[in-house]
Amino acid sequence: MLPLYLLITSVVLSSLHAFVAKRADPTKNFTPILLAYLIFFNIGIMGLLGFYGHAFMADEIARLIGWPTGSPFQSEIAAANLSYGVIGVIAPFMKRPFWYATIIGNAVFLIGALVVHIHQYFAFGNIDPYNIGVFVWVDDLIVPLILLFLGMKVSRQD
């Protein structure tokens, strides 16, 4: 449920930001504000938390996914999450082309992970919560699609 909480946090904080900023046309300027918060929280913070989980709680995370414990593959997933965590945290402070690269790269990674989880479900009946549960659908499908949609919308405004 963490990706959903981060999504809600992004919406609430971006709404407060837009309200406090008192933009002349809040509907026009709200989308980039929302996108910046989504990148920060749902790519950056989620990536850093994913790094922490795969690096320091590897066996517990593996069990929740339905994978064997003790695999060095967890370290590779941790490094991938760390890379997206770092670029997700700094992206909102960079120029917009950096935002789009961050969104696209993260979406490819997460939607690719979703494909693996779906394969695990159909091929092996893996119904573990981090393999086919709400966490996976929100983090690996819904959030990347939202980010891609908003990224395209903001790029048209530029």
Concatenate the DSSP letters of all residues of 23-42 into one string. Answer: -SSHHHHHHHHHHHHHIIII
pLDDT tens digits, residue range 74-107? 999 999 999 999 999 999 999 999 999 999 999 9
Residue 118 to residue 100: CA distance in whole angstroms? 26
The domain tally of the chain equals 1
Domain that residue 11 falls in: 2-157
Q: Distance between CA 129 and CA 136 in Å, rounded?
A: 8
What is the pTM for the complete model shown?
0.93
Query: For residue 150, what pLDDT is reported?
Result: 97
Cα separation, 136 vs 114, in Å, equals: 7
